[in-house]
Amino acid sequence: MPEKIIESFNVKRLDILDEKGNADESLMPSLTDDGIKRMYEVMVLARTFDQRALNLQREGRIGTYAPIQGQEASQIGSALALEKADWIFPSFRENGVYIAFGHPPHMILQYWSGDERGLITARDRNIFPVCIPVASHVPHAVGAAMAAKYRGDRIGVVAYFGDGGTSEGDFHEGLNFAGVFKLPVVFICQNNQWAISMPREKQTAAKTIAQKAYAYGFEGVQVDGNDIFAVYKATKDALDKAKQGNGPTLIECFTYRMLDHTTADDASRYRTKEEVEPWKEKDPILRLKLFMEKKGLWSEQYQEDVEAKAKAAVDEAEKKAESIAPPDPRDMFTNTYEKLSQRQQKEIRDF
Amino acid sequence: MPQNSRKMNMVQAINLALKEEMQRDKDVIILGEDVGRDGGVFRITEGLLDQFGPERVVDTPLAESVIVGAAIGMAAYGLKPIAEIQFEGFIYPAVDQISNHAARIRSRSRGRYTGPLVIRTPYGAGIKAPEHHSESNEALFCHMPGLKVVMPSSPYYAKGLLLSSIRDPDPVIFLESTRLYRLVKEDVPEGEYTVPLEKARIVQEGKDVTVISWGFMLHRALEAVEGFDAEVIDLMTLNPYDEETILGSVKKTGRVVIVNEAPKVGSFASELAAAIAENAMLSLRAPIARIASYDVVLPLPKLEDHYMPTVERIRKALTDIMQY
Ligand SMILES: Cc1ncc(C[n+]2csc(CCOP(=O)(O)OP(=O)(O)O)c2C)c(N)n1
Ligand SMILES: [Mg+2]
């Protein structure tokens, strides 16, 4: 009996907007001029926020912070493809997603300064709390998608995680469930090339992260994660597919972590400046600006306005965050259970 | 035997222990996340990659279950792996491996295979870290017979206990307080010395009250006992623990305060209190006091200081007991 090929896969890569700001019109998602400007403005806001958060951390005004610089297109492009009713399961580096999905920036600062209340999402939005144990939220997204499917709700569920997260069992178990039950879930991996000090090549011997989806029976695609049009299109297509009952998708956003892992890290211990340098030219915001300039959507004046608006919003967020009274020590007892236990009723008297 | 002593903090002392033992025994290897090039997020393994190479200081993919599971396989094969889990809060994917395999391999194979591995992991609050970086869940691991649970309280003891843990024929989880890493400096000898497992130490002798603690909380306890004639015990190994030393002290003083960083319900302080009640009830002149963190989900940094036992709370317990 001859050996034969019984299955084979091709992994697609999607690029729409290049570094010079030229877009492949045949692949362009449908976006109005205002829609494109909104993408730009939210990215500028997110970067302004990120830089301010880093400064505040340095001054000891917030705690450890995980910056997103370089990943704005991956985060904002995907979040803007969501509808209000969709559910988000973030990791700990999704501040751009939070901002794009309408979570108030001052509350993000409140959370990173060590106050749980900063993560209380609005009644009409579903963002699960920041998830720090890597990949442990992937199963939650899967479960929410099972529930949505059971209820017959036409919503999509999105889980965000990093390249490092794809090594955890929870990632694999979650994707397997999603494939088996054909769930309305989109897995967004921001492959920023690093998991603290571990480069992507040491995280997996596979050529791409996208291809891992095929082992679980569904489609994976790699997109240029610094190209907001590609990220937006891939996410929108995957969500449409999910909502039509056609199952999950894994999207690998190929991007780069421009800064330290967190403010507690020092990337110079494990990577060179030479490695970082070429990624500066691939900047997601710069590239969209060049595109807009060509289309007549950008001017010096517009830039000034956008920056001024972003700065004002972040100033306001900082002021608001710092004017919030610290939590009462008794708050730590509430929400352990619905009601205080007998033991807690005794303990709370210490305050 | 020990030659030179140098003032060191706990990070340096643990680093030295690892280095010396790797020089002495080529079966000792380290594996974990960011332990190589980065030297570990707390710099515990700093310099070891350069000295011993990537076959012995293994930067692994981000996967705790296989870090511990692979260490079990290596240990069964004859190596002496030291697995680092970056923070105790991230050990849960590996708890299946620890509880169902590391702790039981000797028993399941009737001694044919054993698990001489060490799992090192930072624990504890007090450094205003993000969520899941501050828990003190030692009691969980004390409920896995077959596993030894070691918690050093200072650089000198950290080094000696770690050497004993690496050489121990059974699996050891070695819990290092993040708060302690750089808090205390003391003389640590270079070269060979060990501190035995399963033995508590009397840090200071006293007549009126026995104060038992471990890890970072020992330092709060030592501060709190000023002005009291207290005998202070550093438990060091929580399981299997040194009941004799504890009961001997309690029979002498008749009073006990146990200070532990974990929430009170189901804490290791509870085991000690129960053992004392069972074995030394008639020597007690006052109820046993457990000073613990509150029975709540560990709050984020803004409330962290309110959560864990303070010197004042310990002093109040001591005062109440002395006036009982
Ligand atoms: C289960 C678990 N193990 C270890 C850690 C510590 N840690 C935090 S982030 C991180 C690297 C994550 O890398 P990646 O998934 O690529 O996400 P990125 O940080 O690049 O956004 C590690 C090891 C953790 N938070 N959770
Ligand atoms: Mg990464």
Interchain CB contact of A347 with B (< 8 Å):
yes
pLDDT interval class at B1 (50, 70, 90)? low
Is the pTM higher than 0.95? The answer reads yes
The per-residue pLDDT for range B68-109, each reduced to its tens digit, is: 999 999 999 999 999 999 999 999 999 999 999 999 999 999
Residue B306 is among the residues annotated as catalytic for this protein: no
Among the partner-chain residues A197, A329, A341, the one whose CB lies closest to the CB of B34 is A197
Percent pLDDT > 90 in chain B is 99
The per-residue pLDDT for range A137-166, each reduced to its tens digit, is: 999 999 999 999 999 999 999 999 999 999
The per-residue pLDDT for range A47-90, each reduced to its tens digit, is: 999 999 999 999 999 999 999 999 999 999 999 999 999 999 99
Q: Where are the alpha helices (H) located in A59-115, listed in sequence order?
A: 72-79, 95-100, 105-112
Domain layout of chain A by residue ranges:
12-350
Question: How many C-alpha atoms does A140 have within 13 Å on its Cβ side?
Answer: 19
Percent pLDDT > 70 in chain A is 100
A79 neighbors B268 (Cβ within 8 angstroms): no
User: A164 CA to middle of ligand 1, Å?
Assistant: 6
Q: What is the 3-state secondary structure (H, E, C) of B12-30?
A: HHHHHHHHHHHHHCCCEEE
Minimal-distance CA residue of chain B relative to A198: B34
The per-residue pLDDT for range B234-280, each reduced to its tens digit, is: 999 999 999 999 999 999 999 999 999 999 999 999 999 999 999 99
Of A93, A200, A257, A287, the active-site residue reads: A257
**Could you give the domains of chain B?**
7-189 (3.40.50.970), 201-323 (3.40.50.920)
- Rounded Cα–Cα distance for residues B39 and A268 (Å): 12
Structure tokens at B84: 């680092």
User: A56 CA to middle of ligand 2, Å?
Assistant: 23
Mean pLDDT confidence for A9-27: 97
Question: ipTM score of the complex?
Answer: 0.96
Among the partner-chain residues A133, A167, A341, the one whose CB lies closest to the CB of B63 is A167
Cβ separation of A341 and B295 shorter than 8 Å? yes
Mean pLDDT confidence for A159-187: 98
Q: Which of B105, B116, B101, B121 is nearest to B28 (CA)?
A: B116
pLDDT interval class at B3 (50, 70, 90)? confident
Among the partner-chain residues B38, B92, B313, the one whose CB lies closest to the CB of A269 is B38
User: Is A137's C-beta closer than 6 angstroms to any atom of ligand 1?
Assistant: no
B233 neighbors B204 (Cβ within 8 angstroms): no
> Any residues with CB less than 8 A from the CB of A55 and at least 6 apart, and which?
none
Instruction: Tell me: pLDDT of B2 over 70.
Output: no
The per-residue pLDDT for range B304-324, each reduced to its tens digit, is: 999 999 999 999 999 999 999
Interchain CB contact of A199 with B (< 8 Å):
no
Q: Which residues pair with A249 in a beta bridge?
A: A186, A219
Dihedral pair phi/psi, residue B320, rounded to 5°: -60, -45
Q: Which of A16, A29, A10 is nearest to A237 (CA)?
A: A29
pLDDT of residue A300: 98
Exposed/middle/buried for residue A325 (C-beta within 10 Å: 0-12, 13-18, 19+)? exposed
Structure tokens at A138: 């992937």
Q: What is the third-level CATH fold of A12-350? A: Rossmann fold (3.40.50)
Instruction: Tell me: pLDDT of A1 over 90.
Output: no
The per-residue pLDDT for range B161-181, each reduced to its tens digit, is: 999 999 999 999 999 999 999
Q: What is the 3-state secondary structure (H, E, C) of chain B?
A: CCCCEEEECHHHHHHHHHHHHHHHCCCEEEEECCCCCCCCCCCCCCCHHHHHCCCCEEECCCCHHHHHHHHHHHHHHCCEEEEECCCHHHCHHHHHHHHHHHCCHHHHCCCCCCCCCEEEEEECCCCCCCCCCCCCCHHHHCCCCCCEEECCCCHHHHHHHHHHHHHCCCCEEEEEECCCCCCCCEEEECCCCCCCCCCCEEEECCCCEEEEECCCHHHHHHHHCCCCCEEEEECCEEECCCHHHHHHHHHHHCCEEEEEEEECCCCHHHHHHHHHHHHHHHHCCCCCEEEEECCCCCCCHHHHHHHCCCHHHHHHHHHHHHHC
User: Is A248's C-beta closer than 6 angstroms to any atom of ligand 1?
Assistant: no
